[in-house]
Amino acid sequence: MTEYILNAQTPLNGFSLEKDGVSFKEVSLAGMISIAPLTGQEEALNNALKDSFGLGLPKVNKKASSNSASIYCVAKDQFFLEVAEEKTQELTDFLKYNASLAAMTDQTDSWVNVEASGPNVIGKFERLSMLDIHPDHFEVGSVARTVMEHVGVIFSREANQSNGDMTYRVMAARSFAKSLEHALSI
């Protein structure tokens, strides 16, 4: 009979920072998987996703979101699905019953996620990546892979804050968490 308990930790232990007109905070995901359609299964996969999460496969560099889930496409055949707490059981079931439609892996622990918003958020990211994130060119629901201070990231524009501030999310591989925190903080 094991008496041990394992405690979970987020990659940055709840990092948050307000500096130079930008607010950063670590975001942790309830559930996330990678999805790569298997040969000839795109339509079936699309329907299955719509059934379970109300969202279909978006085009590349786009993110489709609902209140409890989002799907985004970062490359040909490469999608990520994120769910909120209330949909984690659906996610587990989806993995179990749709293995023939797509190659799927659990990615929940693989990434560090930081959200950034504030009046100077564009000025901040101008110094970090070559993406053109002018609001006219990088609208809500845009996603791109890029590099920030030599760390590969997935960068997306989320819905504006209630006060209208633009909001972005930076994702990097979990092991780079400290380096990403440093890159964003200085």
Partner 1 sequence: MTKDFRIKGGVVNRDKKLNFRFEGKAYEGYEGDTLASALLANGERVLARSFKYHRPRGVFSAGSEEPNALVTLREGAYQEPNVRATVTELYEGLVAKGQNYRGCLKHDLMAINDLMSPFLSAGFYYKTFMWPAVFWEKLYEPIIRKAAGLGELSMLEDPDAYDKGFLHCDLLMIGSGPSGLMAALAAGRAGLHVILTDEDFRMGGRLNAETQEVDGKAGHVWAEEVLSELEGMKNVRLLSRTTVYGAFDHGIFGALERVSDHKKEGSGDVRQILWRIYSKRSILAAGAIERSIAFGNNDRPGIMMAGAARAYANRYGVALGQNISVFTNNDDGWQTTRDLHAKGVNVAAIIDSRSSTSQTAPSGVETIMNTAVMDTKGRHGLNSITLTNGRTIKTDGLAVSGGWSPAVHLTCHQRGRPAWNEDLAAFLPGGDLPVGMSVVGSANGTMTLSACLNEGLNIANKVIEELGAKPSDLSVPKAEDETFATSAFWHVKESKKRAWVDLQNDVTAKDVKLSHQEGFRAVEHLKRYTTLGMATDQGKTSNMLGLAIMAEASGKTIPEVGTTMFRPPYSPVSLSALAGRSRGKEFRPTRLTPSHQWAEEQGAVFVEAGAWLRAQWYPKDGETHWRESVNREAKAVRESVGLCDVSTLGKIDVQGSDTAEFLNRIYANGFVKLPVGKTRYGIMLREDGMVMDDGTTARLAENHFLMTTTTANAVGVFRHMEFCKQCLWPDLDVQLISATEQYAQFAVAGPNSRKVLEKIVDKECDISNDAFPFMACGDITVCGGIKARLFRISFSGELAYEIAVPARYGDSLVRVLMDAGKEFNITPYGTEALNVLRIEKGHATGNELNGQSTALNLGMDRMVSRKKDFIGNVLYQRENLVREDALKLVGFKSVSPNQELLAGSHFIGVDKNNVQENDQGWMTSVCYSPNLESFIGLGYIKSGDSRMGERVRAVDLLSKTETLVEIVSPHFVDPEGSRLRD
Residues that bind partner 1 (CB under 8 A): 1-2, 4-11, 34, 36, 38-39, 77-78, 99, 102-111, 126-127, 129-132, 134, 137, 149-151, 173-180, 182-183, 186
Instruction: Name which of 72, 26, 28, 27 is nearest 49 in CA terms.
Output: 72
Residue partners of 136: CB distance under 8 A and separation at least 6: none
53 or 111: CB nearest partner 1:
111
Question: Cβ of residue 25: shortest distance to partner 1, in angstroms?
Answer: 18
Find the largest Cα–Cα distance for the chain.
Answer: 59
Question: Cβ of residue 68: shortest distance to partner 1, in angstroms?
Answer: 21
Cβ–Cβ under 8 Å, residues 17 and 185: yes
13 or 67: CB nearest partner 1:
13
Cα separation, 64 vs 73, in Å, equals 9
| Joined tokens for residue 118 | 């504030």
59 or 150: CB nearest partner 1:
150
Cβ–Cβ under 8 Å, residues 105 and 18: no
Question: Cβ of residue 183: shortest distance to partner 1, in angstroms?
Answer: 8
Question: Cβ of residue 1: shortest distance to partner 1, in angstroms?
Answer: 7
55 or 148: CB nearest partner 1:
148
